[in-house]
Amino acid sequence: MARKTVFIDFSKCIECRACEVACEREHNGRSFINVFEWQEMAAMALNCRHCEKAPCVEVCPTNALYRDEDGAVLLAPQKCIGCLMCGIVCPFGIPELDVLDKIMMKCDLCSHRRAEGKLPACVETCPTDALLFGDFNDIQRMRRREFTEKAIEIAKKGERISLRAL
Amino acid sequence: MKGVFPLEEKLVPVVCPYCGVGCRLYIKSLDGYPRGIEYAKDIPGISNENGKLCPKGNAVLEYLLAKDRLKKPLKATEQGKFVEISWSEAIKEVAERLRAYSKDDPNAMMFFGSARTFNEPNYLIQKLARMLGTNNVDHCARLCHSSTVSGLKAVFGAGAMTNTYKDIEEANVIFIIGHNYAETHPVGFRYVLKAKERGAKVIVADPRFTRTAWFADIFLQHYPGTDIALLNGMMHVIIKENLYDEDFVRRRCVGFDELARTVEKFTPEYVEKITGVPAELIVQAARTFATAGKGVITWAMGLTQHTHGHDNVRLAATLSAICGYQGKEGCGVSPMRGQNNVQGACDLGVLPNVFPGYQAVTDPEKRKFFEEFWGVELSGEVGLTVIEAAHAIEKGKVKAYYVMGENPVISDANTNHVLKALQKLEFMVVQDIVPTPTMEFADIVLPAAAMLENEGSLTNTERRVQWSFQALNPPGEARPDWWIVSEIGKAAGFSGDGARGFRYTSPEDILREINACTPQYRGITPERLKSNLAGIHWPCPSEDHPGTRVLYKERFLTPDGKAHLAAVDYRGPAEVPDEEYPFLLTTIRYVGHYHTLTMTGRSRALVKRWPEPLAEIHPEDAERLGIKTGDWIKIETRRGAYPVRAKVTRTVKKGVIAVPWHWGANVLTNDALDPVSKIPETKACACRIAKISEEEARELMKAVPKVIPEFEVVKG
Ligand code: SF4
Ligand code: SF4
Ligand code: SF4
């Protein structure tokens, strides 16, 4: 099963919070991605990691948390009893309680958009491409390629300069 | 038909109603009501590659649903109290009053266009003003980029961005000055980051360590208002070390010797004393910029809003020219416009000195053309600018205002003065989509349809003209801006055929008239725009012309075709800190807000994230005054006082206070004007600060105009 999720490159995040507004619009006024600022200027967006060994899925007593075919961790609202276990075991504190309905809510990797073949809203909107959607292996490979390409370019530049100096 | 067939959800391509990047998106609508938005990933070549949107773009539907949208024309019974009237009454009254002024003294009227509405109504409002006999017509670009227009015109012959976003992406060095690019235009900043990923160097000059500076390879933290020294210092190094493009300067520029003489004394050490930027950084920035091969300079209000804004821009243009970064791809100067149609409103002559297409009102030949075109006699006297108009009311010279989609009470410098002036008006018309503090003084209020409820063309900051389609129904009796102005034009007696009157049936009619009288827009027809969603960059002189990405490939637009390099000696801000007012105040903006909060202030998602202004103050200054983050402080200048909460942060330079201006901080700012561009110096003035209690803050707040006002309206 290809396990796709939203990866975050915090070095590119400009804290514009477009991702939050987009998620909120797609999810009835609730955003499942949050942008944190630290050290005055650095910022990072954080949403559900849809972990490989997701503690929330393991701990849920009613099996309300499950995986869809893309590997996204989803919540079946009819089964949720609002016991808060998932929120406690999640290392990032992602599942939140909807105070009105007393059930949990979390990032669903925009399942309604994926069903139409679209990317999650937060990824689609991020102006700086700080958010990437994909399979970990693919993204890792892509980053490696990017790095190598850049290194080659720099090496070529250096060559030109040293040739000129001769 | 309704109810018989199932309604279909439509995806309508529109242009974002917010900033000058001019992003495209789709509105999902059902029978004219909003259902959501979709990203425009499938339109190649648009300014927001891959359909990216910033938070404002993501929240575009929210302000449209504001509870206080204006839905019926209103007439004031006394200041700030209104009764509803019908459209025919409203139009008749406005037209009759304007007609009367036009007979007695046309220059007693002042018209405001708007950078937030389409090209077509902007064209019409200046046509109406001019046909009524006055050139008193201006818009808010005066307050943000008039120095860009005048400064670039002086050096290159025209006041627009020379290149496009594509050129930013392709540059090897990007010099960002007086502009928090990442925060003001996140989607435009995308291109800076893409260039950086390719290995381009980024140089940022700003008094604050902004979100943009975070991405800088070289960061120059200068004091507000010392840009002339900084730019001269860089040019000193470039000339001294022979790094400029000698060939380009010889062939295409004039004034180099004088420039070299003037910058002679601006040694890095001397500039360090004025700007506070270490000398070696100035040298490094100069070398990096001049030797990159392809470079872009980009700026915004941090450079323009000064009493020497015009000179700042001339120097930025000069720096670009001596490095040979003109007329080529991957180069250029790139002023970033705030609102989505600043460029278009300027292009279409919503300025007191030019007809559409920057044709001077003082030029007898151009005037003759328009006299024949519109079939009336026209004034050849340059009209009043926004700030001058406020002074003219006080002197009793201007008596009537027609304000379309503008909010001078919040946007003009020195608010208290503006308030005093507006009180003296005899007659004021406000045409807008929601109540603004400016409406308090209106005699007649005309409810307008918002951009997405209406269609027309817009010109973004890179001269790209795009068509935005109607996605939604306007509320109540709100009408498109073009309709309102043309009805008033007809009622005022201009009922001739074609260009000689105001008998339009659609925005397309108006754009065709624009094609006929604006050389740059000649080939930008409604048909072409509708079939080409990515739009066309002006100049586009004929219908088979593809549009122009890079300006000045062969020659500049100056009479002799050369770039006129500027040699300017150092001048600081009009008001500098002294014993009484020891701090330097500067104004800033937040990514989620825009203009005077008229739209963003009514968007729940944005207000939730950026709920209030915070004044940034350096930790050492804060400690001396006993101020902690979250404390209320009072900022006071010679013009007014403003209560705000403090944020202690190392991002500002010592001795500098930075406040976002959206919430009415212009009660503090200086309305001293640049002598050429007439822009007020909102970016630097002297102030003092004191810690106050919350009660005091509330008391002071009463004197600051409310950005979202409530008015009493009697239903008609
Ligand atoms: S949209 Fe992208 S850049 Fe903006 S806050 Fe989210 S992750 Fe950061
Ligand atoms: S993937 Fe969808 S639900 Fe999850 S944070 Fe992003 S926008 Fe929200
Ligand atoms: S960058 Fe400007 S045009 Fe683009 S979405 Fe944001 S506000 Fe709209």
Residue B545: the pLDDT is: 93
CB contact under 8 A, A16 and B55: yes
Question: What residues in A contact B187, CB-CB < 8 Å?
Answer: 127
Q: Tens digit of pLDDT for each residue in B54-78?
A: 999 999 999 999 999 999 999 999 8
Best mutation site among A24, A107, A111, A132 for ligand 2 pocket (most ligand atoms within 8 Å of CB): A107
Q: How far apart are CA A3 and CA A49, in angstroms?
A: 11
Helix residue ranges per DSSP H, B2-145: 55-58, 87-104, 119-131, 141-144
CATH of the domain at B633: 2.40.40.20
Half-sphere exposure of A14 (CA within 13 A, CB side): 31
- CA–centroid distance, B190 to ligand 3, in Å, is 12
Collect all residues from B whose CB is shorter than 8 A from any CB in A: 36-37, 39, 41, 48, 50-55, 57-59, 61, 182-183, 186-187, 189-190, 193, 197, 199, 209, 211, 214, 591-592, 604-606, 609, 649-651
CB contact under 8 A, B54 and A18: yes
Average pLDDT over residues A7-19: 90
Q: What residues make up the domain containing B670? A: 583-701
CA distance A166 to chain B (A): 20
Asked if residue B708 is part of any domain, the answer here is no
How many residues appear in chain A? 166
Closest ligand relative to B187 C-alpha: 3
The pLDDT confidence band at residue A166, using thresholds 50, 70 and 90, is very low
Pick the closest to residue B130 from B485, B360, B365, B378 (CA basis). Answer: B378
Residue B146: the pLDDT is: 86
Q: Tens digit of pLDDT for each residue in A110-164?
A: 999 999 999 999 999 999 999 999 888 888 888 888 888 878 877 877 776 665 5
- Per the structure, how many domains does chain A have? 1
Alpha carbon nearest to ligand 1 atom 3, residue: A13
Q: Tens digit of pLDDT for each residue in A62-76?
A: 999 999 988 899 999
Closest ligand relative to A122 C-alpha: 2
Asked if residue B714 is part of any domain, the answer here is no
Asked if residue B571 is part of any domain, the answer here is no
Q: Token pair for residue B532?
A: 């080409």
Average pLDDT over residues B535-559: 93
Q: Is the pLDDT of residue B364 over 50?
A: yes
Asked if residue A29 is part of any domain, the answer here is no
Pick the closest to residue B136 from B319, B388, B322 (CA basis). Answer: B388
Say yes or no: CB of residue A23 within 6 Å of ligand 1.
Answer: no
Asked if residue A100 is part of any domain, the answer here is yes
Using DSSP, state whether B669 is helix, strand or coil. Answer: coil
Q: Tens digit of pLDDT for each residue in B441-458?
A: 999 999 999 999 999 999
B229 with B265, same domain: the answer is yes
B445 with B499, same domain: the answer is yes
Give the strand pairing for B563-564 and B137-138: unpaired
Question: What residues in B contact A29, CB-CB < 8 Å?
Answer: 604
B151 with B175, same domain: the answer is yes
User: Rounded to 5 degrees, what are φ and ψ at B546?
Assistant: -80, -5
Asked if residue B573 is part of any domain, the answer here is no
B264 with B182, same domain: the answer is yes
Range scoring the smallest mean pLDDT among B573-577, B581-585, B642-646: B573-577
Say yes or no: CB of residue A23 within 6 Å of ligand 2.
Answer: yes
**DSSP secondary structure, A103-139, as one string:** EEE-----HHHHHTTPPPHHHHH-TT--EEEEEHHHH
B157 with B301, same domain: the answer is yes
Q: Does A153 touch chain B (CB under 8 A)?
A: yes
- Per the structure, how many domains does chain B have? 4
B136 with B154, same domain: the answer is no
Say yes or no: CB of residue A109 within 6 Å of ligand 2.
Answer: yes
Whole-number average pLDDT of chain B: 93
Which secondary-structure segment (H or E) carries B432? strand B427-432
Amino acid at A62: T
Q: Where are the beta strands (DSSP E) in B230-299?
A: 253-254, 295-299
CB contact under 8 A, B190 and A127: yes
CB contact under 8 A, B58 and A41: no
Asked if residue A159 is part of any domain, the answer here is no
- CA–centroid distance, A108 to ligand 2, in Å, is 6
Average pLDDT over residues B174-180: 94
Residue B5: the pLDDT is: 59
Say yes or no: CB of residue A45 within 6 Å of ligand 1.
Answer: yes
Beta bridge partners of A7: A132
Q: How far apart are CA A42 and CA A113, in angstroms?
A: 30
Give the atom of ligand 3 at the shortest distance from the alpha carbon of B19. 2
Asked if residue B380 is part of any domain, the answer here is yes
Pick the closest to residue B210 from B229, B240, B184 (CA basis). Answer: B184
Give the strand pairing for B641-648 and B614-617: parallel
B397 with B311, same domain: the answer is no
For A140, other C-beta atoms within 10 Å of its C-beta total: 12
Alpha carbon nearest to ligand 3 atom 5, residue: B57
Judge whether B111 and B351 are in contact, CB under 8 Å.
no
Distances (CA, A) of B565 to B232, B555, B558, B700: 12, 14, 12, 47
The position carrying tokens 């040699």 is B567
Question: What residues in A contact B214, CB-CB < 8 Å?
Answer: 14, 41-42
Q: Tens digit of pLDDT for each residue in B604-658?
A: 999 999 999 999 999 999 999 999 999 999 999 999 999 999 999 988 989 999 9
Q: How far apart are CA B116 and CA B405, in angstroms?
A: 7
Q: Is the pLDDT of residue B4 over 60?
A: no
Q: Is the pLDDT of residue B676 over 70?
A: yes
Q: How many CB pairs below 8 Å do chains A and B form together?
A: 83
Pick the closest to residue B656 from B579, B585, B565 (CA basis). Answer: B585
CATH of the domain at B251: 3.40.228.10
CA torsion B93-B98-B99-B103 (nearest 10°) is 140
If you measure CA to CA, which chain A residue comes closest to B58? A22
From the list A40, A42, A128, the residue facing B651 with the nearest CB is A40
CB contact under 8 A, B609 and A127: no
Q: Is the pLDDT of residue B506 over 80?
A: yes
Asked if residue A78 is part of any domain, the answer here is yes
Q: Is the pLDDT of residue B6 over 80?
A: no
Give the strand pairing for B295-299 and B332-335: parallel
CA distance A92 to chain B (A): 21
Asked if residue A72 is part of any domain, the answer here is yes
Say yes or no: CB of residue A132 within 6 Å of ligand 1.
Answer: no
The pLDDT confidence band at residue B2, using thresholds 50, 70 and 90, is very low
Residue A162: the pLDDT is: 61
Q: Is the pLDDT of residue A100 over 90?
A: no
Using DSSP, state whether B335 is helix, strand or coil. Answer: strand
Judge whether B684 and B585 are in contact, CB under 8 Å.
yes
User: Rounded to 5 degrees, what are φ and ψ at B444?
Assistant: -125, 135
CA distance B21 to chain A (A): 12
Q: Is the pLDDT of residue B119 over 50?
A: yes
Q: How far apart are CA B198 and CA B219, in angstroms?
A: 20
Which secondary-structure segment (H or E) carries B712? strand B712-714
CATH of the domain at B46: 2.20.25.90
Residue B8: the pLDDT is: 78
Q: What residues make up the domain containing A80? A: 49-106
Pick the closest to residue B631 from B654, B619, B615, B618 (CA basis). Answer: B615
B286 with B402, same domain: the answer is no
Question: What residues in A contact B609, CB-CB < 8 Å?
Answer: 17, 20-21
B513 with B437, same domain: the answer is yes
Beta bridge partners of A8: A131
CB contact under 8 A, A25 and B51: no
Give the atom of ligand 2 at the shortest distance from the alpha carbon of A23. 7
Q: Is the pLDDT of residue A19 over 50?
A: yes
Best mutation site among B24, B37, B46, B56 for ligand 3 pocket (most ligand atoms within 8 Å of CB): B56
Pick the closest to residue B418 from B444, B446, B442, B393 (CA basis). Answer: B393
The pLDDT confidence band at residue B412, using thresholds 50, 70 and 90, is confident
B530 with B388, same domain: the answer is yes
Best mutation site among A122, A131, A132, A133 for ligand 1 pocket (most ligand atoms within 8 Å of CB): A131
CA distance B646 to chain A (A): 14
ipTM summary value: 0.89
B23 with B52, same domain: the answer is yes
The pLDDT confidence band at residue B1, using thresholds 50, 70 and 90, is very low
Judge whether B451 and B598 are in contact, CB under 8 Å.
no
Asked if residue A126 is part of any domain, the answer here is no
Q: Tens digit of pLDDT for each residue in B10-48?
A: 999 999 999 999 999 999 999 899 999 999 999 999 999
The pLDDT confidence band at residue A11, using thresholds 50, 70 and 90, is confident
Alpha carbon nearest to ligand 2 atom 6, residue: A122
Which secondary-structure segment (H or E) carries B301? helix B301-304
CA torsion B240-B243-B247-B251 (nearest 10°) is -60
Asked if residue A26 is part of any domain, the answer here is no
From the list B54, B186, B214, the residue facing A41 with the nearest CB is B214
Q: Tens digit of pLDDT for each residue in B318-330?
A: 999 999 999 999 9
Q: Is the pLDDT of residue B222 over 70?
A: yes
- CA–centroid distance, A108 to ligand 1, in Å, is 18
Q: Is the pLDDT of residue A1 over 60?
A: no
Average pLDDT over residues B115-124: 95
CB contact under 8 A, A16 and B186: yes
Helix residue ranges per DSSP H, chain A: 18-26, 55-59, 85-89, 111-115, 121-125, 136-165
Q: Is the pLDDT of residue B236 over 90?
A: yes
Q: How far apart are CA B357 and CA B346, in angstroms?
A: 8
CATH of the domain at A58: 3.30.70.20
